[in-house]
Amino acid sequence: MASRKPDEASAATVDQLGGRLRPLLALLADGEVHSGESLGEVLGVSRAAVWKQLQKLESLGLQVASEKGRGYRLCGGLDLLDEPAIRGQLARETLPLLGPLRVFDRVDSTNARMLVALETGAGHCEVLLAEQQTAGRGRRGRTWLSPFGAGISISIGWRFSGGVQLLEGLSLAVGVALARALARFDVPDVRLKWPNDVWCRGRKLAGVLLELSGDLTDRCAVVIGIGLNMRLPAAAADTIGQPWIDLAEVRPGISRNALVAAMLDELLPMLASYPESGFAVWREAWQALDQFAGVEVCLQSAQQRWCGIERGVDASGALLLEIDGTCRAFHGGELSLRPAGSSAL
Ligand code: BTN
C-alpha cells in the first residue's frame, strides 16, 4: 500500500476521444467489414473524412485493416466499456452502494485521478475506469500496461474514519472479492499471491494497488486500483517483464462490462462492511486460495531477504513464514514474495 502526496497526482491528462472518433469506434467494434460509404453516411461525413478518422484509430494502437473494394475492419473488434451497461448488470443490493461511475477514454492513471477527486472532497463510492491509461501505476514504482480497449483498469474511492489500521489486510480481501467475481464466469485455477496479486495457472492475471490520502490517524480515504489482463494486444504484451496470463486465454468471450459489474458486486459490499469486519472474516477464504501455501518461498524488501515455508496469513493479513521451525509474521508494504529459486515475479 503506497501513500502519495496529492500534488504528485495533479498533472492531469484526461482525454475523451473527440467528436466522431467514439461513434466510429462503436461502429467498428463488431470487427466486421464496413464500407467507407456506409461509415460516412452514419457519421454524416465524407469518405475522405472517414479515412482521416481511421488514421487516428491507429494512433491509439488499434489495427484497422483495409479490405480492397469492401471497406474497413477493426482487427479483433473491440468490447468497449459502457457506464449504462455496467450499471444495468449490477445486483440490486449493489446499486445503493455505488456513487458516480465514469469511463475515461484515455487518462494518465485512474488511481491518480481518484486521489485528486478525494482531495477535493469527492470520490467516496466513486468508480473510475479507463479504456487506456498512459501512466498506469503498479506496485513498487512499476508501471502498469493499459493499452486502449484491453484489460480492466479500475479505481474505487472509499472514505472512512478511524485511521488506517482499520484497513489492515484490505488488499487481501480485495483479492478474495476478485476471485469470487471471476468464479461467477467459471474462470478455473484462480489463486492469490500475497499480498496483492491474483494468479491463474501459475501466472499473474491481475494486480491491486491501494493508495491512501488524508489523515492516516483519523479521517482518511483509500483508492483501490485494480488492473486485470484481458485481450492484451501481442505487441504490448511482449513488454511485460514477468510471467502473466490473459483472461481471454483461459475463458474467452467474457464481456468487460459484465466482469466490471461482477467485480463491483463483490467489492462494494465488502468495502462497506470492512471497517467493522476487518480481515479476520476473510482470512479463511484467502487461505483457501493461497497459491504458495506450504511452499518454500523468499520475501524480498529493498534491503533484505527472508526464505522459509509459507504458512498462510494471520488475522491481520500478515504473511506467516516458517523460518528454521519458527513462524514469523511479515506485514505488506513493499515486500515481494517469490518461490525459492525463482528470480523475476
Ligand atoms: C500491481 O503492480 O500489481 C498493481 C497494478 C495496479 C494497476 C491498476 S490499473 C487501475 C489503477 N490505476 C493505476 O494507475 N493503477 C491501478
> What pLDDT, on a 0 to 100 scale, did the predictor assign at position 18?
67
Nearest CA to ligand 1 atom 11: 225
Q: Decide if 79-288 and 296-339 have a common fold.
A: no
Q: pTM of the prediction? A: 0.93
Give the ligand 1 atom nearest the CA of 137: 14
The β-bridge partners of 106 are 15, 132
What fold characterizes domain 296-339? SH3 type barrels. (2.30.30)
Ligand 1 binding pocket mutation candidate from 226, 244, 256, 336 (most atoms within 8 A of CB): 226
Contacts of residue 68, defined as CB under 8 A and 6 or more positions apart, other chains included, come to: none
Q: Give per-residue pLDDT as tens, 163-214.
A: 999 999 999 999 999 999 999 999 999 999 999 999 999 999 999 999 999 9
**So which residues are the catalytic ones?**
139, 204, 338
Q: Give per-residue pLDDT as tens, 84-141.
A: 999 999 999 999 999 999 999 999 999 999 999 999 999 999 999 999 999 999 998 9
Domain 79-288 has CATH 3.30.750.24: no
The CATH number given to 30-74 is 1.10.10.10
Å from CA of 227 to ligand 1 middle: 5
129 with 153: CB under 8 angstroms?
yes
Give the ligand 1 atom nearest the CA of 111: 12
Nearest to 81 by CA among 56, 110, 58: 110
Q: Give per-residue pLDDT as tens, 236-247.
A: 777 777 789 999
Q: Give per-residue pLDDT as tens, 25-36.
A: 999 999 999 999
Contacts of residue 62, defined as CB under 8 A and 6 or more positions apart, other chains included, come to: 74, 75, 78, 148, 149
* C-alpha torsion angle, residues 162, 163, 165, 168 (rounded to 10): 90
Confidence of residue 2 (pLDDT cuts 50, 70, 90): very low
Contacts of residue 171, defined as CB under 8 A and 6 or more positions apart, other chains included, come to: 1, 195, 196, 208, 210, 317, 332
Instruction: Tell me phi and psi for residue 344, to 5 degrees.
Output: -105, 115
Location of C-alpha cell 471497406? 71
Q: Which residue ranges have their beta carbon within 6 Å of ligand 1?
A: 109-111, 133, 136-139, 142, 144, 153-155, 196-197, 207-209, 225-227
Average pLDDT, the chain: 91
The ranges assigned to domains in the chain are: 30-74, 79-288, 296-339
| Percent of the chain residues topping a pLDDT of 90 | 81
Å from CA of 107 to ligand 1 middle: 13
| Percent of the chain residues topping a pLDDT of 70 | 94
Q: Average pLDDT of 51-59? A: 88
Residue 8 clears pLDDT 60, i.e. is over it? no
